[in-house]
A and B are shown apart, each in its own frame.
Chain A
Amino acid sequence: ETGVTQTPRHLVMGMTNKKSLKCEQHLGHNAMYWYKQSAKKPLELMFVYNFKEQTENNSVPSRFSPECPNSSHLFLHLHTLQPEDSALYLCASSQEGLNSGANVLTFGAGSRLTVL
């Protein structure tokens, strides 16, 4: 266990479904992140939360909706997705936000999403 747990590990959904991805960390970190990993493309930062406040939204379409109820939990709500949204969604956490020195990210194992 890396300390960052993501559920579900695999998700298949239709374009009209609504589902959520969950991320949980018990490392006492204050910043949490969502990244999208697609084949042969750079890892894309989607959202950043620092002390439960969203500090970065990297031009992500509104069909992805993040929620951070506390510093330990992060959700990604999904609705009316497109097939090109199929990817591995990685959650990460760090002690503080990335403007604090050599802050290191701890990643979860990811949620593999397939949109039919």
Chain B
Amino acid sequence: GEDVEQSLFLSVREGDSSVINCTYTDSSSTYLYWYKQEPGAGLQLLTYIFSNMDMKQDQRLTVLLNKKDKHLSLRIADTQTGDSAIYFCAEITGTASKLTFGTGTRLQVTL
């Protein structure tokens, strides 16, 4: 079956790096995504990575993909209070052609 797992909560100090982890089960995943949900809002796409890549960098965001272990991570450098939100990992598979989300990881940034 398709399952995407994330830890529920992460707390970091402002200025530190945050690393949010995700594991997925479907090895045929073609694209993997990170979405961000701020309070009272819907989900917004942060970034995505194609399954033939192992890293993607976009300003403060770095996505690492380990296909062998089915592990995806999102690193946020120099974390700011505005980064406080829920971060969702999601995968899309060619066969299922639907997007499967994890539970979301709530990132709390402290001063």
Q: Give A residues with C-beta under 8 Å from B.
A: 2, 4, 6, 35, 40-43, 45, 48, 56, 90, 92, 97-99, 101-110
Q: Are A107 and B44 in contact (CB under 8 A)?
A: yes
Comparing B13-21, B66-74, B95-103, the segment that makes contact with chain A is B95-103
A-chain residues with CB within 8 Å of residue B100 when the two chains form the complex: 42, 45
Q: Are A104 and B42 in contact (CB under 8 A)?
A: no
Interface residues on B, range: 20 to 34
Main SS of chain B's interface residues?
strand
Q: Give B residues with C-beta under 8 Å from A.
A: 4, 8, 31, 33, 35, 40-45, 48, 50, 88, 90, 92, 94, 97-104
Q: Whole-angstrom distance from the CB of B28 to the nearest CB of chain A?
A: 12
Q: Are A105 and B97 in contact (CB under 8 A)?
A: no
Partner of B45, one of A4, A45, A56, A105: A105
Q: How far is the CA of A90 from the CA of B103 in the complex (A)?
A: 15
